[in-house]
Amino acid sequence: MTFAKNSKRLNSSDERNLTRLAHELVKGTSITLTYYAKGQSALAKARALVVESFLKSRHSEPLHFTLQKVPSKSSNAVKVTPTKN
């Protein structure tokens, strides 16, 4: 997911992609959300939490999320990596 500079709002394309992904996930899926925090740690984490919240709102079964911070790199993105249990 790529965010606009200084924004934590998902664009419509990312919302469609996340909705599609949510429909493919099975109960108990583990999802790692990797965020890139060099220079704007709070904004980067907020972006990851927006993605988590969006996926939870589109999936009726419990999912497990892990947030992974990459402090040495700057990016406007959150990488979503699902792992089925």
Would 3 be classed as within a structural domain?
A: no
Give the total number of structural domains in the chain.
Answer: 1
In sequence order, which residues have a C-beta less than 8 Å from that of residue 10 and are 6 or more positions away?
1, 3, 18, 50, 51, 54
Is the pLDDT at 44 greater than 80, yes or no?
yes
Crossing angle of helices 12-24 and 41-57, in 10° steps, is 50
pLDDT at 37: 81
Confirm whether 25 is domain-assigned.
yes
Q: Measured on CA atoms in the order 72, 45, 17, 62, is the torsion positive or negative?
A: positive
- In SS3 terms, 13-29 reads as HHHHHHHHHHHHCCCCC
pLDDT tens per residue, range 16-32: 999 999 999 988 899 99
pLDDT band at 12 (very low <50, low <70, confident <90, very high): very high
- Which two tokens mark 27? 């109960």
H or E stretch including 85?
A: none
Question: What is the extent of the structural domain holding 33?
Answer: 12-83
pLDDT at 85 over 80: no
- At residue 55, the pLDDT reads 95
Tokens of 17: 């992609």
